[in-house]
Amino acid sequence: MRHIAYVFVPVLLVGVATGASPASAAGCDKACLERVAAEYHAAWLAHDPSRAPLARKVRFSENNVELTLPDGSWATVSEAVGTPLVLSDPKTGNVGLYTTVLQSKEIQTYAAIRLKVQGGRITEAEHILSTKRNLSSPPTPFGDIYKNPRDPDFTRVVPVAERASREELKQQANGYFATLENNNGEIRGIRFSPVATRNENGMNFPEIEKGFKSGRYGFNNRVRDRDCMVVDEERSAVMCRGFIDHKGVVDYVQLTDGTRQKSVFQEPHTWSFLESFKVKNGVVTAVEATFTAAPYYIKSPFTKKPDPVYDAIKPSGK
């Protein structure tokens, strides 16, 4: 089992009142945000919130339930495996990380964490944790944390000429979600590299575009409350929150090759996720996601304006 070793980079925290530039308006530049994320991760593993730079008041949620920090996995996380993927956004003061850990020394766990940092202090902490236990049937994919096939390019800095703008990163992510919602083979507002892969809870899915063009995700009735909170301009990547709803009324979907496929969702069901996209030269090259099952139509306590309830899907015939 491998433990994480962090190298902390000394940084100067410059407050807004002293004339911070727009690039670090939250009072914490990129190095600062990533140091804060490392300190939080280490404090979580040590079950000791005093080791993290927490603000006096911190909003904390785990799998979309707001808790008092420390609670939830703060009591059970026992060891980190591998190296976290970190994305940071000095313009908004958000930093995200994907990490693999053990809980209670044996429960393999995929964890996605978003932190909001103001003046070098954490004001929000959001966890999405996925284990085999909390993935109710039908389960989302779940791979061995010791074999996590993450694209190594995800954390690399992208040359300026190959980067996407902040707006383009968000547009590509939204195009992905639009393509996933009521998937019928159309590609809606996103471009994929031919070799783009998705790493979802440690399971690798190649040929992402081919999967979308097959229409195999037609049972996804809605991808709602989409919010891209972390835009890492140097790495040309973006981290987003969202929910995929299955109303349980789509019995079959017809794939684009004419195959009739029975839906595994025969009851109301939601997937909750934190998902990130790497974009280079105008195309998505990699996707990293932590998914977990959730009560139908659950909402995040951090979603400011949830999408309205709708009922556009009618029951289909048996």
Cα–Cα distances (Å) from 30 to 7, 51, 59, 215, in that order, read 15, 20, 22, 39
The per-residue pLDDT for range 235-285, each reduced to its tens digit, is 999 999 999 999 988 889 999 999 999 988 888 999 999 999 999 999 999
Q: How many whole angstroms from its chain centre is CA 185?
A: 24
Within 8 A by CB and 6+ apart from 305, the residues are none
pLDDT-derived band at 135 (thresholds 50, 70, 90) equals: low
Both tokens of residue 131? 């284990």
Owner of token pair 């998914």 = 291
CA–CA separation, 54 and 300 (whole Å):
21
CA–CA separation, 238 and 198 (whole Å):
14
Q: How many whole angstroms from its chain centre is CA 55?
A: 23
Percentage of the residues of the chain whose pLDDT score is greater than 90: 81
- Of 100, 50, 52, nearest in space to 77 by CA: 100
- Determine the pLDDT at residue 68: 96
CA–CA separation, 62 and 242 (whole Å):
14
CA–CA separation, 296 and 31 (whole Å):
38
The per-residue pLDDT for range 29-38, each reduced to its tens digit, is 999 999 999 9
Owner of token pair 């236990």 = 133
Q: Is the pLDDT of residue 5 over 80?
A: no
Both tokens of residue 207? 């040929």
Do 162 and 181 contact (CB within 8 A), yes or no?
no
Concatenate the DSSP letters of all residues of the chain into one string: -------PPP-----GGGT--GGGTTS--HHHHHHHHHHHHHHHHHT-GGGS-EEEEEEEEETTEEEPSS-GGGGTEEEEEEEEEEEEETTTTEEEEEEEEEETTTEEEEEEEEEEEETTEEEEEEEEEE-STT-PSSPPP---GGG----GGGGSPPPGGGPPPHHHHHHHHHHHHHHHTT-SS---S--EEEEEEEEETTEEE--HHHHHHHTTTTT--EEEEEEEEEEETTTTEEEEEEEEEE-S---EEE-TTS-EEE-S--S-EEEEEEEEEEEETTEEEEEEEEEEEE-TT---TT-SSPPPP-----PPP-
CA–CA separation, 64 and 296 (whole Å):
12
The per-residue pLDDT for range 226-247, each reduced to its tens digit, is 999 999 999 999 999 999 999 9
- Determine the pLDDT at residue 4: 37
Percentage of the residues of the chain whose pLDDT score is greater than 70: 87
pLDDT-derived band at 141 (thresholds 50, 70, 90) equals: confident
Q: Is 119 exposed, middle or buried (0-12, 13-18, 19+ CB in 10 A)?
A: middle
- Determine the pLDDT at residue 249: 87
